[in-house]
Amino acid sequence: MIEIKNIKKSFGDKIIIDDISAVMEAGKCNLIIGASGSGKTVLTKCMVGLFHPDSGEILYSGESFGAMDDEHRKMLRQQIGMLFQGSALFDSMTVEQNVMFPLEMFSRDNYKTRKKRVDEVLARVELKDAHKKFPAEISGGMKKRVGIARSIVLNPKYLFCDEPNSGLDPQTSLVIDKLIKELTNEFNTTTIVVTHDMNSVMEIGDHIVYLYQGKKEWEGSNKEIIFSKSDKLNKFIFASEFLQDAKDMRMLEMKGKIDNDRNMEDLLNSPGSLMDNLEK
Ligand SMILES: Nc1ncnc2c1ncn2[C@@H]1O[C@H](COP(=O)(O)OP(=O)(O)O)[C@@H](O)[C@H]1O
Ligand SMILES: [Mg+2]
């Protein structure tokens, strides 16, 4: 489990993270969601130590990241896998060399063992014939897979993925989401996915933290999220009118105010929104 306690971070006089406390549950897919610029990446970077928070604490399994000695922190860092926004592959290295990189940095295994591990993770993300290719020669979805392979090559206990779906088509997004979810279950990692993709939220979000302008506005599960009472969150989730109507119908159905057999088209085509009609 990772506990975020009263984290604050400013750049200049601009407050970016405003006193956020939240929990990332062990062995689950934890999602940090929010509009662009709401502070998701900055918060994530505070969690992995790429930014120093101005105040507050990050606890990994109860131990404060900031208060650890260097040796201890180095050990923890090796347990953290990170898929950066945009994959951040080394363009001048082949797929295989990219995935090998963390092993060369941190493992004392010989080449043969390292190579075996690289083959293993590339097979796990279903990339079998891309070993010798360069990032520029493969598709966006494949790049993400390489990024994921690289982030899991050291068997991390904690896996961070910043916008794993950005730039991907909806189908490929789903495949990548499912892969992240499977890996989380398979290796019991504590996974943190930063996203603004509602499909991901519903598909893989065991535990969700919603940020609004640097503050935590809501925290809960994907079962609870569509019933949240936060206006800001609802505006974020139901950004399209289509979804808003779908939600209204679901609510009415649950309250027993409409039944399933009734022609929904009538309701949708009637003037004003569903809720307005109901108020009358
Ligand atoms: N290194 C930085 N220096 C100054 N401002 C930054 C820096 N990184 C991010 N910001 C600002 O912090 C805010 C939140 O950014 P970010 O966490 O990247 O948002 P997002 O939720 O889209 O990931 C933005 O207004 C951004 O301009
Ligand atoms: Mg970001």
Q: Is the CB of 53 under 6 A from ligand 1?
A: no
Please state the atom number of ligand 1 nearest to the C-alpha of residue 34: 21
Contacts of residues 148-151 at CB distance under 8 Å and 24 or more positions apart, as own/partner, are: 148/83, 148/176, 148/179, 148/180, 148/183, 149/99, 149/118, 149/121, 149/122, 149/124, 149/125, 150/83, 150/89, 150/98, 150/99, 150/101, 150/102, 151/81, 151/82, 151/83
Q: Over range 95-121, report the average pLDDT.
A: 94
Cβ atoms 198, 167 nearer than 8 A = no
For residue 208, pLDDT over 50 is answered with yes
> Residue type for 205, please?
G
Q: Which residues have beta carbons under 5 A from ligand 2 (an ion)?
A: 41
63 forms beta bridges with: 60
What mean pLDDT do residues 124-134 have?
Answer: 91
Q: For residue 71, what pLDDT is reported?
A: 92
Ligand 1 in contact with 272 (CB < 6 A)? no
Structure tokens at 52: 């120093």
pLDDT 10s digits, 47-59: 999 999 999 999 9
Instruction: Determine if ligand 1 sits within 6 Å of the CB of residue 30.
Output: no
pLDDT at 263: 53
pLDDT the model gives residue 280: 44
| Residue among 16, 43, 211 whose CB has most ligand 1 atoms within 8 A, to mutate | 16
Residue ID of nearest Cα to ligand 1 atom 17 = 39
Which residue type does 192 have? I
Ligand 1 atom with the smallest distance to the CA of 39 is: 17
* Residue 39 Cβ contacting ligand 1 at under 6 Å: yes
pLDDT band at 116, cuts 50/70/90?
Answer: very high
Q: Which atom of ligand 1 is nearest to the CA of 44?
A: 17
**Is 70 exceeded by the pLDDT of residue 14?**
yes
- Higher pLDDT residue, 42 or 259? 42
pLDDT digits (tens, 9 = 90+) for 239-273: 767 777 777 777 777 777 665 555 555 655 555 55
Pair 89, 137: CB distance under 8 Å: no
Q: How many helices (H) and strands (E) does the chain have?
A: 11, 10
Tens-place pLDDT, residues 24-36: 999 999 999 999 9
CB of residue 41 inside a 6 A radius of ligand 1: yes
Higher pLDDT, 263 or 106: 106
Residue nearest to ligand 1 atom 1, measured at CA: 11
Residue 191 Cβ inside 6 Å of ligand 1? The answer reads: no
**Is 162 within 8 Å of 83 (Cβ atoms)?**
yes
pLDDT beyond 90 at 93: yes
37 lines ligand 1 (CB under 6 A): yes
Distance (angstroms) between ligand 2 centre and the Cα of 163 equals 7
Domain ranges of the chain: 1-79+156-239, 93-155, 240-280
Contact 161, 113 (CB under 8 A): no
Give the distance (Å) from ligand 1 centre to CA of residue 226.
Answer: 27
pLDDT at 261: 53
When the pLDDT of each residue in the chain is averaged and rounded to a whole number, the result is: 88
Query: What distance in angstroms lies between residue 207's CA and the mean position of ligand 1's atoms?
Result: 23
Task: For 210-226, write each residue's pLDDT tens digit.
Answer: 999 999 999 999 889 98
Q: Give the class (CATH, top level) of 1-79+156-239.
A: alpha beta
pLDDT of residue 76: 92
- Looking at per-residue pLDDT, the higher value among 218 and 199 belongs to 218
Query: Which residues pair with residue 233 across a beta bridge?
Result: none
Residue 264's pLDDT is 57
Q: What is the pLDDT of residue 278?
A: 52
- Testing ligand 1's pocket by substitution, the residue of 11, 197, 211 carrying the most ligand atoms inside 8 A of its CB is 11
